[in-house]
Structure 1
Amino acid sequence: MLYGLLDTQRRLTRALVDNALNTCQSLCGEWTAALPRASRDWLVRATCAFDTAPPFAIAAVQSGGKSVPVEESIIDEMPIGNLREFTRARGNAPVSGTCPVLLCAPLAGHHAVMLRETVETLLETRDTVYITDWADARDVPLVAGPLALSDYVHSLERFIGIVTASGEPAHIVAVCQACVPALAAASLLARHKAHCLGSVALLGGPIDTRLHWTAVDRFANSHSLNWFCDNVIDVVPPPYSGAGRRVYPGFLQQAAIIALQPARQLGLEARYWSNWFAGNLGGAQAALRSLNEYAAVLDMSERYFLDMLSVVFHENLLARGAWSIEGRRVDTGALAQVPLCTVEGDRDEITGAGQTHCAHALCHAPDTARHRQATIDQCDHYDLFIGPRWRNAVHPLLCEFWGVAERARATKAQLAARAP
């Protein structure tokens, strides 16, 4: 099988380049070995030969003109993935935002660490940020189940319950494909536990792919599920814990990502090498971190992949209000009173115009100040959560949206307390 062959190649690549680098360092010294080390990093990225994803390693963030230490921990572990918590160290002045943020990472090729900058930015204005860190399907034993889309919805329901266990509601932020299971989980919870939802924000999510097709939509709809099974699904080989599991391999996903957005990959590589050759080691290191985060890919279970194709692209179950999860109908109208924010990029080549904003109609969200929809100028898909557009346009918009929601909630609580 192709997976087994390429995995053997990747293991051999790691062994050879690591051995060559060690030899070069021992003979030439650390500085002279810099070019071989840079070449080694490039080869590992190009062949998807990372053994594990890079760590988040957010030691501190800049807030209020000073460096604030950050503590990281895993507060819930499941075979399907972990819930990571990032908290500003105690003893520092609290920021204005009170409710925690749960960042729902997409399961679309990249590890959650690709959202490292997103978490870092959120911590500048929030005391606590959580992120879903989904497992690589190759590392999940078959006994854990099929890893279906419904399993991810259940996991999000559980994670939201954990985040809000103290009684403080959470602001849910979903990115890209995560908007689908996140909106479903929030809708299911809203029927009985709407108090745990401070707000819901959807960034570039394919809620209704019938609107303004992109290349992704055209490709997904022009091929049957059987075609995808025959052409992109492979079996995880030993010695991985998930040996025998059918998956959409990360190396194929990376090829698709680069084919769809070659300019982004080339731009990241150019930034790294230009800094390196200019002698700007700090800039090169920062660029390398971004490159490695972008290149760290994971395997997606066959069941999840086919479920997404069916629910989102082929049958549009969420958009048509026809999606049920184990007998529970996903009623997005249950979110009518939960503040909703949708954000799209005007140059998004992955999620078409209106595919995210349509959530307002699906949720019957009234046209009030508590609800927002914004289209960011000169913004592509990744700009919605990484880079200058994220930092200077999207994040400030979210902060304003959260502020309005929290003030409205506080006012409502005060009125309730005064009522006889």
Structure 2
Amino acid sequence: MSHFETDAIRTQTERSQFLEHSTPLYLTSSFVFEDAEDMRASFAEEKIRNVYGRYTNPNNSEFVEKICKMEGAEAGYAFASGMSAVFSTFAALLNSGDHIVSVRSVFGSTHGLFTNFLPKWNITTSYFDTNNLDDVEAKIQSNTKIIYAESPTNPAVDILDLERLGLIAKKHNLLLVIDNCFATPYLQQPIKFGADLVIHSATKLIDGQGRVLGGVTVGSADLIREIYLFSRNTGPALSPFNAWVLSKSLETLAVRVDKHCENALKVAQFLENYDRINLVKYPFLKSHPQYEIAKKQMKLGGNIVAFEIKGGIDSGRQFLNNIKMCSLSANLGDTRTIVTHPASTTHAKLSEEDRLEVGIIGGLVRVSVGLENVEDVIEDLKQALQNE
């Protein structure tokens, strides 16, 4: 059995007659057949081969195979974005009248999907308290099909006990679907704790350099089969070029994420000792409420640090205006450190009450710590705090 880093580098599904050392790009919309019987058998799925770019492509297959090995999954499907992975997973597995139990703190677009679009097909969602897993079973109904969660959560970096969620899902014969975007498969493998499916926005740390969009869902072969059949008909497939970029990105995932985590911990420790800050949340700080759970299920703490500046929403916005080096962007997981003020940007459309329920207080700032020299990152954050 090879190790994580070796699988990321040495998993290669295709070479042409030129025997490339690095997997080539397969920029073709379709594939040809040797004869009528080959074509018939391929469309009947009696043989596994590439048929049409919307179904499969060698670059997509390599990317998916790597993620499956990293996550310990049987199968997977790659998508054009993280949100197309989220939507397609739910659309493929749910029917009208079904119900989802979800953690309250989810990505803003996922919340929009649950509240604005799935109800059009009579699919409803109940939210459980991020910090109270006793609330999960109280929300389960007779028509519940899926328990859904992110861990760490966005943007407040809360940690959910994945093993406990897995036991609850098994007890009630429900599917457990985990968004593992913040952790990546390098830091956390939810399937080990009972997840049936794992979703990634590959746009974030998996790419790691802000170049391309992508998403992927992996898990049991039976469930992925349903997602595949839905997706080959609806067309959210990842492009071959983006799949090629993401597969190459996985080769450096471990070394990049190690450095991200090292830098993030130093940033969190600096902020924790700064008097303008009310609180700092980072999974591997001992002050984090779920520190022990994070240590149990994560290899390192990730690259996201959340902190609250004294003075509320105005102080948060002023802090962003004072930033000189770090980027102001809604993205995360880049080589470049990114600073976001959720209350006035990514979650501004939520009511204040809804924001508070998911831990988004007025002065909350989310930092996606990059790969610059950490002293330069800390110096920029420090001067931004001093200049308010």
Q: TM class by shorter-chain length?
A: under 0.3
Structure with higher helix content: 1
The TM-score normalised by the length of structure 2 is 0.26
Give the TM-score normalised by the residue count of structure 1. 0.25
